[in-house]
Structure formats: C-alpha cells, structure tokens
Amino acid sequence: MSARLSPAASLLRNSKLFALPPTIPLPAAPPSSDQVSGSDTATTVYPRYAAIETTSISGSQGDWGFKRPLPLKATKSTNNPVVRLVRGIDTPEHIADYESAADHVLTLRKFQELNLSLRHAGKSNESRYNTGSARDFNVFRPTHDNTTNLSSSSPASSGPVGIWPDVKPEDVFNQLPEQIQMVQKTIDEEKKAEEAAAGAEPNSGFSQLMASASQREAFQREASRQRVRERRRWRYAGPALFQMSGMEFDQYLNNLGKKEQDMLTERIKQEIIRNKLTKARDEGKMDQQPRDEEVTDGEVKNYLRHLRNEPREFGPIIASMLDLPENDLRVSRGKPKADEFEYGRDTLAAADWQERGPPRTHPSAGLSYVHTVAHVHNDPTYGPQKSNPAVLARAVKTASRAGKTEASYGVAGFIVPNPEQRSSTKSTEAFTPQPGGQKVPVQLGAAHINEDGALILRSNTTYAYEARDDMAVSKQQIQAEETAESQEGFDAARQNPAVTPQLTSNSLDDYQPRPSRRMQDPEYLARQQMRRGASRSSQGSDDIFDALSRR
C-alpha cells in the first residue's frame, strides 16, 4: 500500500501548472500488402507531445518546472533547449522520460517565417497545386470555425442559414443603410398594391401550395430540412464511417450499448409525438398535446418497423443522434437508387469534409494565424510586388527517378511536391553533386491541413530567381547589381586612364574581339609559319633569278 501523499505533493500533482495535454495518436497506416518500414526516431507528421521551454537562467540550472531537475549534460549542450515528456512528468522508476522537441519547434518557426495563410482544402477534382479556388478561403471564418451546433432554441436555427448564421434576417435588414431600407419597403408596398388590384389575397401562392396534400408534405419536408441546417464544423462526436475499414466498423458496432439504445428510443418517441402534432394540426384538433408517457412500446416497435423499410428516414435519424460526419453523396457513381438516403445531415460542412472526412486537428493545426492574404510584399528597392518572394528549397528527390515526373523539395521542414513536368533544369532532372546539396527557388502558394493532420503545400518552380549564397535572389536584382558594377568600373577608368576597365557582359566601350580557338592552336600556328616561310623562300628565289638574268 502506497504512502499517503502530503498536501504539497497532492497540490503539485493536481495543479494546472503541471497539467499537460493528452498524447495525440498518430494516423493509422493505410492497408497495404507491401512491407511497412518505420523508424522510432523519425519526425512524426505532427507533434504528439507538448513542447516545454524554459528560460536561459533556469535552463542553466536544470530547472524545467518538474519534480526534479534535468541533467545539464544533455540539456545545456544544445542551442535549442526544448524538451517533451514521453511518458509523463514522473514514471514508476522516478525519472522524467524526456527527449528533444527541437524538430517540431524549429519547423514551426521556419513555417511562420513564410507568412502563409492556411486555407480550406478544395474538392478532390480540383488541382491541389492550384493557388486560387472558389473554396480557397481562410479556416478562421466565423461561419466555418465551429465545434458545436446552433441550439434548437436559437432564433438563427429556425430558418435557412444565410451569410451570418447567428444573426436573424430582420436584424440584418435593420443594419442596412436607410436608403436601401426605404427602397425595399417601397418595393414591398407596390407588390401588395398589385396583388390587391388583381383581386388576389395576400400570399395566395402560398395558400395554393398548402391546398394540395402532397405539395404540403413536400413543403414541410423542405422546411424541416432547412431548419436543421447547421454551421460549418470540423469536429463531430461520432466517427466518419466512410473512412473505417470492415474490422473497425464491426468494433464500433460492438461498442454500441444500452446508452445508444435509450437515445434511439427517446428519439423515436419524439418523432412519434411530432407526427401526432402534425396530424392534429391538419385535423384542427389542437386541444390536447401528446406527451412522452402516452407513447407506448408497441408504437415504438411499429415505428421501428416502418423506419427499416424507409432508409431515407432512418439514416438521418441515426446520423444526427450519433453526430456522424457527412458522407460523399457522389459515391453512387450515377443515379441514386430508391433505397439510398442522404447520409448525415444536410449541413453546410458537407461540401468541405464529405470527400476526405473531418480533420484530426483544427484546420489550422496551430501553424499559422494569418487570417487574410490581402497584403502585398513591399520590396525596399522595387516597391510592392505581385507575390511573396521566392524561397530556396532543397531538392530531395529528382524528377528522373523511375517512372516519376515530379520532383520533391524540402521547404521549412516539409516535403513539397513540384507539379511541373520533366524539364531541362539540371537541379531537378538528374542528380548532380553540389556542396550543401541542390537548391532551387520555388514560389509557394496556398497551404491546408488534410484529414490526417499533415500539411499540404502548393509550390511552383520560378525562373525569376536564382540561388546565391543560400538565398533566392531575383534576376532583376542581379542584373541591376551587374549594371551598377560595370558603371563603376567605367567611371574609374575615365578618371584614371592607367586603369583598364574589367569587361563584363554589359560592357560595350573599349570592346576587343576575343581570339578564336583556331588562333590559339599551336599546331595551326606552326603550319601557318611554315607556309609563310616557304612563300618567302619562293619569292626570294624568283627575285634572285630576275636579278641574275638581267646581267
């Protein structure tokens, strides 16, 4: 039996100061028949443990806020003193099992230097390298960054969702300028006057619609569907069934117990009461309101039999009760069958997560909190630029590997694919050893977090930049520097004629043609000299013959 904890020890163990968030599990590996290789020391897709940092003074003493100090030999020899606890603050062996967390911390710092905004992932049929899309908006929108539904008593949940889900339509109208309100009121008055002149009752179209029983049912179904519309969410209480394998789905079914059965029974009772209210309203009998106690077990069983034969009604009830994410409605690959139903609720989030499933983390993953891309890069020399400056990426995989036409780059600790086809660029076409590795300037586009919590970057190789001194320098700047150097050399030559200006590619003054390779060949020069000697000898003999013949 363990000894009783002292008040101080109990306070430390229960204090929020020492409370660490739970470990985030890694995504499951996709099923494959190939041999799966992994490493325990490799950098994970996202951090699983919280990174802990301390001040330089406390770190020099080994004080990290734990029960006991960490050894200075391991924590003082690094330039990035950041650790993470693998098995908790204290283990049964009375040690703190820790390791360095510099991999993810430095990756976060380098990514934030890129000044990128995280966007929503587009559709699967959209190019993942496209920098602009109709669904390319920020993840921090108030209409999208939500974890809960609107409450049923909220006024905004009683009708269709507009631009602002939390604001009633009349409140939006009251916030408009007075001129627009006056114009809208004038239009409404003219419309009422036209209806009165035509001898029709107001809302006659609506009355005719409600006259037919079939049309009335369709209208009520559409109205109920509009009322259950929710805000865009990225977190659900239930799992994404379309992402589960057969074994995972069977395990999920086995975990369903009496709690879910009671929830289903209560939900069916509410559906029965709602149907009774609708029937009483149609018959004009609104004196008695049905209660839960009046719903018998026989009615519940009969309604269950009815739902088994109507999957379109049964599916949405289960999905809303267990809070399941929406499924992709296009999986039928054609015209929907009669027994198919719209899986899940028809929420606004369906267009975002129905193909890939909801993300494991927040859509931003804490990497960037830039809410907008409505800003320009202001170069100190050339002023505002159209896009952000290019960054230097390391070529990790070349495009000439077996059967592949894409090169892969390393940018800020992430692997970025390049969508360009095979080109004549030496740095991506074949492996050429270079000191420090091959580096290529790339232009980064939008970034988003996929359903596994991994960061997906969009990039394109840019030829307007060159790699110089581990930096991406624009060719415009390089050309300006070369022109300035040439001008300085010419000015110095004019002031001091003894100084010969150094010729560059932009120098045109005092230009002298370079000798050809033929003129630099020793054998060619020797032959030319022999020919000139033979010609001189022949000419000399002729002159001697003429002189002797004249005598």
pLDDT tens string 70-80: 888 877 777 78
Tell me the pLDDT tens digit for each residue of 372-423. 777 788 888 778 887 778 888 888 876 655 555 667 788 888 888 775 544 4
Tell me the pLDDT tens digit for each residue of 322-332. 877 765 544 44
pLDDT of residue 263 exceeding 80: yes
pLDDT of residue 284 exceeding 50: yes
**DSSP symbol at 294:** G
Q: Name, of 177-186, 234-243, 267-276, 422-431, the range with top average pLDDT.
A: 267-276
In a 13 Å sphere around the CA of 243, the CA atoms on its Cβ side amount to 20
* Phi then psi dihedrals of residue 273, to 5 deg: -65, -40
**DSSP symbol at 96:** -
Tell me the pLDDT tens digit for each residue of 174-209. 666 676 777 777 888 877 777 776 655 444 444 444
Given pLDDT bands bounded at 50, 70 and 90, which one contains residue 363?
confident
Whole-prediction pTM value?
Answer: 0.61
Helix (H, G, I), strand (E, B) or coil at 84: strand
Given pLDDT bands bounded at 50, 70 and 90, which one contains residue 131?
very low
Instruction: Calculate helix-pair angle for 297-308, 258-283, nearest 10 degrees.
Output: 90
Task: Say how many Å lie between the first and final Cα of the chain, rounded.
Answer: 143
Task: Show the beta-strand stretches assigned E in 360-496.
Answer: 378-379, 383-384, 391-397, 407-411, 414-418, 439-449, 455-461, 465-468, 471-474
Q: Which long-range contacts (CB under 8 A, 24 or more apart) does 56-65 make?
A: 56/81, 65/17, 65/18
pLDDT for position 227? 43
